[in-house]
């Protein structure tokens, strides 16, 4: 059986991967790095017998995302998975959502689980601006009922970086024109000094949290940052 975990909500997909692998108690788990994987290594991992006579489960991380539109290479790997997936369970984890074109390369039955970042998070990010603490905290409290605070914080950092790039006249990579326009409008709510100060505070607070110097939890830290925005 072939299971594919993919999508930009990495926190959720990694949690699902962890749950699946921890549920494997009497099987041999083989984990492969897809970035440095060739066909022979994948075949060997899926076809070679376990030294202990156990059933084998192969986990391949980040196999298809780095291939982009290299259809020939994608089909070479999906063919191997199709053939061997009949006798060996395989879990593919990808940090991005795979396209329908990639998924259609599989000829056997697969289980595809997409983990997408909720639209409510992007609405929250779009409302990041000074003097908007009450709305932001209310939105944030709603968000963390269904999303990890770490995911929200990571995306907040990314958004502040993007706004700094826009303010400096640089266009963030891999963005559509409508996204650039939205970021440009949002950046007008800040001065460059304000953006740099807020971003620096993010770095300081995260360092303090990770080193045990902060008296706050992640959730409390985010609320405090919002208040100071």
pLDDT in tens, 103-131: 999 999 999 999 999 999 999 999 999 99
Q: How confident is the model at residue 87 (pLDDT cuts 50, 70, 90)?
A: confident
Q: What is the location of CATH 1.20.272.10 in the chain?
A: 119-228
- Give how far Cα 37 sits from Cα of 12, 62, 77, Å: 25, 10, 10
d(C-alpha 138, C-alpha 133), whole Å:
8
Residues 127-137: what's their mean pLDDT?
95
Q: What's residue 52's pLDDT?
A: 60
Tokens of 223: 């609320």
φ, ψ for residue 207, nearest 5 deg = -60, -45
d(CA 111, CA 3): 5
**Amino acid 48: pLDDT:** 81
CB proximity list for 202: less than 8 A, separation 6 or greater: 156, 157, 160, 225
Q: How far apart are CA 156 and CA 89, in angstroms?
A: 37
Average the pLDDT over 215-227 and give the result: 95
Mean pLDDT of 201-217: 94
CATH code for residues 2-114: 3.40.50.300
Q: How far apart are CA 113 and CA 16, in angstroms?
A: 10
pLDDT, tens only, 142-184: 999 988 899 999 999 999 999 999 999 999 988 889 999 999 9
User: Contact at 8 Å (CB) between 75 and 102?
Assistant: no
The C-alpha atoms of residue 174 and residue 153 are separated, in whole angstroms, by 21
pLDDT of residue 27: 83
- What is the mean pLDDT of the segment spanning 79-97? 93
Please give the CATH topology (third level) of the domain spanning 119-228.
Zinc Finger, Delta Prime; domain 3 (1.20.272)
Q: Kindly report, as residue ranges, where domains of CATH 3.40.50.300 are found in the chain.
A: 2-114
| pLDDT for position 28 | 86
Q: Which residue has the higher pLDDT, 56 or 16?
A: 16
CB atoms within 10 A of CB 14: 15
pLDDT reported for residue 32: 94
pLDDT score, position 169: 94
Contact 37, 76 (CB under 8 A): no
What pLDDT score does 23 carry?
Answer: 86
- What pLDDT digit, counting tens, does each position of 20-72 carry? 998 887 788 899 999 999 999 999 998 887 656 578 899 999 999 999 989 99
**Angle subtended at Cα 113 by Cα 112 and Cα 119, rounded to the nearest 5 degrees:** 135
CA–CA gap between residue 137 and residue 35 (Å, rounded): 39
What is the chain's alpha carbon radius of gyration, rounded to the nearest angstrom?
21
pLDDT at 51: 58
């Amino acid at each position: 059986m072939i299971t594919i975990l993919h999508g930009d909500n990495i926190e959720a997909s990694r949690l699902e991967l962890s749950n699946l692998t921890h549920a494997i108690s009497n099987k041999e788990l083989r984990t492969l790095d897809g970035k440095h994987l060739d066909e022979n290594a994948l075949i060997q991992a899926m076809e070679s017998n376990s030294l202990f006579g156990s059933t084998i489960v192969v986990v391949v991380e980040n196999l298809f995302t780095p291939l982009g539109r290299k259809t020939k290479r994608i089909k070479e790997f999906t063919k191997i998975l199709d053939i061997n997936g009949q006798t060996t369970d395989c879990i593919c984890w990808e940090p991005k959502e795979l396209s329908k074109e990639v998924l259609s390369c599989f000829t056997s039955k697969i289980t595809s689980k997409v983990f997408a970042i909720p639209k409510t998070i992007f609405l929250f990010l779009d409302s990041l601006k000074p003097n908007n603490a009450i709305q932001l905290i209310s939105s944030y409290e709603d968000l963390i009922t269904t999303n990890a605070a770490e995911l929200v914080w990571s995306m907040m950092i990314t958004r502040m970086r993007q706004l700094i790039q826009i303010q400096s006249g640089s266009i963030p990579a891999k963005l559509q024109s409508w996204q650039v326009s939205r970021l440009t409008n949002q950046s007008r709510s800040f001065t460059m000094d304000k953006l740099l100060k807020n971003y620096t505070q993010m770095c300081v607070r995260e360092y303090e949290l990770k080193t045990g110097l902060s008296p706050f939890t992640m959730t409390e830290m985010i609320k405090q940052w919002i208040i100071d925005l």
